[in-house]
Amino acid sequence: MISLAKLGVISTVTVFFKDVPIKFKIEAVAEGKIDKETKKVAGIDAIEFRKDLDKIIRNMEYKGIGKSLREEGIEFYGMESIAMFIIKKLKQNYPISYVRVWEGQDEYAIVSSDEV
């Protein structure tokens, strides 16, 4: 029987930097034991996990990336900043393992939750 597993969800956000749209793909991964009753990783419902990630991203998109990050004490330096912001928000409700943020198809940053 598997005792430890990971559950990941992916979402996308488009932000504007100096009037240029930049599309980011964001993967958030939670890690935990499989609940014997629900058969879910740490009892997490993947649909709710995705909804919460999407809500964080939509709020960031609405407010603006710079303002959202500054409110959490994070300066915007790129993909790593976005990952740290999302980890801070998701850690409140989920056992986050890491967040990976892609800019384009070939470039990404991974930030572990224990680094934030």
Question: What's phi and psi for 55, nearest 5 deg?
Answer: -65, -45
| pLDDT for res 65 | 82
115 contacts: CB under 8 Å, gap ≥ 6: 84
How far apart are the C-alpha atoms of 78 and 31, rounded to whole Å? 25
Domains of the chain: 5-115 (3.30.479.10)
| pLDDT for res 61 | 81
Give the mean pLDDT of 8-36: 81
Per-residue model confidence as pLDDT tens digits over 74-115 = 987 789 999 999 999 999 999 999 999 998 888 999 999 998
| pLDDT for res 90 | 95
Per-residue model confidence as pLDDT tens digits over 30-47 = 998 888 888 788 888 889
Higher pLDDT, 53 or 66: 53
Whole-model pTM?
Answer: 0.85
